């Protein structure tokens, strides 16, 4: 089923911990407080996790070792950028290229119930049954087979995953330091994480039957050096967007998604206040590390460019990164773009006081990326 044909249906979300190691899940519960109102959700997560245990145990014991031995032939391509900067749109576009492999939405939740046939049949069916047709916050189509951020799966065995914050948002900044800046993280844990990541990439390529791994993972914007330790020849595409639009879109996305995934109560104002340091941290780390990428392996684009002239931008990406077979991929890009013409973005309004705070706190990034107050946003006084 293509993304354009996905029928819109209601569904429910569950935290990705349903596919984690039981030890990881229990460790998270020991270290983080669960709000009383979310205890039923936690019980559902634990129940599915326990049911999934024999399937993922089998895959880890008998299937993963063989897959992990196979080296990948082509350098991975990492799409980086802050949330709501156009990373999903770019990922969905580039994944239309028949040579680009990716982590599916199903794999991101059940990374070790992928090649066990009975387990896959049960849990893929379960995922398709429950998954909503559209994502809360931005109306992007959803399906178990669509490309997804691999961060959801990166904490399934090694406790180094920034997306634990979806369950425990009060620890967001602490998680940032531990899982993106890897502060006070042992070398053993980092090596385990790298091995888990490489295995995830190998399984993604095998699952999609393609040769180039295409990643879209905003936390990687602050992990460039760590990724280069794994893949020295990795290619990077940084996509950016006006920070004012990013703030408003991120706030809306977090406020609408968190209630479906969280195990902690958190108010809208608290969420809003977390976005300011999160953006500062991620973009500061990006600017500090981007020069470590070898020449010819990095390209930077804006979301506005991609929206206005998608095919020239994509062609330039292939040229700058020396990715072959653009001509073969272009018809697939064109067909996909025709199918999303009806997609409508959210309109945004902002209070002047909040706008002034964004301009003050994020001014260095506005200047570095050459952005000003967008004309398309309605400013409200008072």
Digit-coded pLDDT (tens) for 298-315: 999 999 999 999 999 999
Q: Rounded to whole angstroms, how far apart are CA atoms 31 and 90?
A: 36
In a domain, 354, yes or no: no
Q: Is the dihedral of CA 93, 316, 247, 337 positive or negative?
A: negative
Q: Rounded to whole angstroms, how far apart are CA atoms 3 and 146?
A: 7
- Residues 60-66 have a mean pLDDT of 96
Q: How many domains does the chain have?
A: 1
Q: Which residue has the tokens 């006070």?
A: 184
Q: How far is CA 139 from CA 8, 64, 270, 275, in A?
A: 10, 35, 24, 21
Alpha helices in the chain (DSSP H): 22-31, 39-58, 64-68, 87-94, 105-109, 117-130, 172-179, 187-208, 224-230, 243-261, 268-289, 303-308, 310-320, 326-339, 352-361, 363-368
- Residues 2-31 have a mean pLDDT of 76
In a domain, 84, yes or no: yes
- Show the domain range for 257: 16-349
- Residues 26-31 have a mean pLDDT of 94
Q: Rounded to whole angstroms, how far apart are CA atoms 126 and 103?
A: 18
| pLDDT at residue 261, as a whole number | 92
100-101 and 298-302 beta bridge pairing:
unpaired
In a domain, 357, yes or no: no
Contact 228, 358 (CB under 8 A): no
Start-to-end Cα distance in the chain: 48
In a domain, 1, yes or no: no
| pLDDT at residue 136, as a whole number | 59
In a domain, 368, yes or no: no
- Residues 233-257 have a mean pLDDT of 95
Q: How does the average pLDDT of the chain come out, rounded?
A: 92
Give Cα 331 distance to the centre of its chain. 26
- Residues 10-15 have a mean pLDDT of 73
CATH number at residue 337: 3.40.50.300
Phi, psi of 124 (to 5 degrees): -70, -40
Question: What tokens were used for 168?
Answer: 């425990």
In a domain, 5, yes or no: no
Q: Rounded to whole angstroms, how far apart are CA atoms 375 and 246?
A: 14
Q: Which residue has the tokens 């053993």?
A: 188
Contact 251, 99 (CB under 8 A): no
DSSP code per residue over 230-272: H-TT-EEEEEE--HHHHHHHHHHHHHHHHHHH-SS---HHHHH
Please list, in sequence order, all residues whose beta carbon lies within 8 angstroms of the beta carbon of residue 137, skipping any fewer than 6 positions away.
252, 253, 254, 255, 256, 257
| pLDDT at residue 54, as a whole number | 96
Q: Quick one: CA torsion of 307, 311, 235, 251, rounded to 10 degrees?
A: 10
Give Cα 290 distance to the centre of its chain. 19
212-216 and 100-101 beta bridge pairing:
parallel
In a domain, 171, yes or no: yes
| Greatest extent of the chain over all pairs of C-alpha atoms, in Å | 63
DSSP three-state, residue 146: coil
pLDDT tens digit string along 120-173? Answer: 999 998 888 777 666 655 556 778 899 999 999 999 999 999 999 999 999 999
In a domain, 256, yes or no: yes
Query: In which band, very low, low, confident or very high, does the pLDDT at 1 lie, cut at 50, 70 and 90?
Result: very low
Rg (alpha carbons) of the chain, rounded to whole number: 20
């Amino acid at each position: 089923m293509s993304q354009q044909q996905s029928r819109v249906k209601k569904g429910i979300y569950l935290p990705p911990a349903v596919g984690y190691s039981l030890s990881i899940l229990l460790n998270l519960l020991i270290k983080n407080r669960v709000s009383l109102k979310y205890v039923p959700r936690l019980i559902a997560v634990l129940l599915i996790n326990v049911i999934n245990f024999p399937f993922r145990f089998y895959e880890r014991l008998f299937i993963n070792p063989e897959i992990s031995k196979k080296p990948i032939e082509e350098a991975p391509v990492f799409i980086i950028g802050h949330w709501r900067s156009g990373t999903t749109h770019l990922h969905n576009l580039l994944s239309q290229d028949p040579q680009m492999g990716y982590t599916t939405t199903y794999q991101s939740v059940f990374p070790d119930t992928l090649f066990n046939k009975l387990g896959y049949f049960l849990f893929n069916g379960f995922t398709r049954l429950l998954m909503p047709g559209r994502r809360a916050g931005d109306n992007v189509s959803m399906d178990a087979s669509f490309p997804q951020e691999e961060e959801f799966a990166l904490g399934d065995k090694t406790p180094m995953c920034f997306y634990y914050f979806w369950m425990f948002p009060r620890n967001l900044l602490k998680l940032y330091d531990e899982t993106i800046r890897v502060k006070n993280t042992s070398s053993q844990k980092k090596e385990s994480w790298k091995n888990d990541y490489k295995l995830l990439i190998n399984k993604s390529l095998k699952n999609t039957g393609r040769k180039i791994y295409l990643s879209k993972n905003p936390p990687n914007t602050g992990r460039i050096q760590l990724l280069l330790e794994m893949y020295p020849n990795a290619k990077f595409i940084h996509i950016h967007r006006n920070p004012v639009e990013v703030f408003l879109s991120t706030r809306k996305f977090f406020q609408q998604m968190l209630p479906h995934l969280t195990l902690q109560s958190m108010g809208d104002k608290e969420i809003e206040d977390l976005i300011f340091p999160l953006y500062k941290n991620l973009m500061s780390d990006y600017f500090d590390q981007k020069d470590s990428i070898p020449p010819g392996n990095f390209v930077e684009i804006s979301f506005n460019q991609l929206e206005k002239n998608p095919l020239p931008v994509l062609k330039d990406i292939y040229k700058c990164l020396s990715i072959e077979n653009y001509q073969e991929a272009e018809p697939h890009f064109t067909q996909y773009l025709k199918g999303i013409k009806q997609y409508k973005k959210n309109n945004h309004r902002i209070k002047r006081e909040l706008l002034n705070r964004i301009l003050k706190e994020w001014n260095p990034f506005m200047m570095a990326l050459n952005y000003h107050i967008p004309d398309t946003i309605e400013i409200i006084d008072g």
